[in-house]
Amino acid sequence: MIHVRTAAEVDTVGKGGAIIAGLLEELPARISPGVTTAELDAFCEKYIVSHDGAEPAFKGLYGFPGSVCVSVNEEVVHGIPSAKRVLADGDILSVDVGVRLDGWCSDSAWTFPVGRVSDEATALLEITERALEAAVEVALAGNHVGDIGAAVIRTVEGTQYGIIRELVGHGIGQDVHEEPQVPNVGRAGHGPLLREGMILAIEPMLSAGSPDIRTRRDGWTVVTADRSLSAHFEHTVGITGEGPRILTRVGAQANAVHNAAEGA
């Protein structure tokens, strides 16, 4: 079932989203060569629970052992925090964060450079973030889920990057994962209709090589099959009558972004 939420419920999701946004703003100062992914996980959990009533939405979800997913280089998603995983200069690190607050969930991910990274890594991060921006811009009431994936395709076409097709975004609300699925490839005008009150986690994932993926023996960590670098950017977005409302961006919980590029 695809849920349509009230304005008050969307506001509550935005409160949890603001916690995530604040955390993602704090993280760059904590991400450096020599830091372990377990240390970052501990910092994220401490930050989340320092907000009254908030808890990590991912901890224990389907049995996941960490508070956040921390995925390095070729790891696309679901990397397990570990004291043995030490970040090195030139790595890229995706941090996927979920917060549960007052019975409602929010979800966001960002990919960060570790120290000085290659031009290849920088370009991958830039195009993946642009894909997220393009996808959010078309999350309009009256459009369709397929418009979101089509926007990702338009952003990436003509580059050497691969769109991870086997992993998708999703609806979000009282559960982390709800209907509908939000693929990162699609056809404009196809798929479920976007309606005011829907809340979506939109999350393009790109690889610097093949879009094929596999899961490691730990049962969680998804990696690119050819070990190429991967980037992941995600926002929780409310569909409103005024345009898409990014619920995981600091200072923008009440703002629509339908006038992207200032009317350009």
Half-sphere exposure of 204 (CA within 13 A, CB side): 29
Across the chain, which has 264 residues, the per-10-residue mean pLDDT values are 97 97 96 98 98 98 98 98 98 98 98 98 98 98 98 97 98 98 98 98 98 98 98 98 93 36 32
Q: Domain 7-257 belongs to what architecture?
A: Alpha-Beta Complex (3.90)
The predicted structure's pLDDT at residue 250: 64
Taking a C-beta distance cutoff of 8 angstroms, is the pair 147, 138 a contact?
Answer: yes
Q: What is the 3-state secondary structure (H, E, C) of 157-196?
A: CCCCCEECCCCCEEECCCCCCEEEEECCCCCCCCCCECCC
Residues pairing with 231 in the sheet: 206
**pLDDT of res. 111:** 98
Over residues 54-102, the pLDDT tens digits come to 999 999 999 999 999 999 999 999 999 999 999 999 999 999 999 999 9
Reduce the DSSP state of residue 135 to 3 states and report it: helix
Whether pTM exceeds 0.85: yes
The domain spans of the chain are 7-257
Mean pLDDT rounded to a whole number for the chain? 94
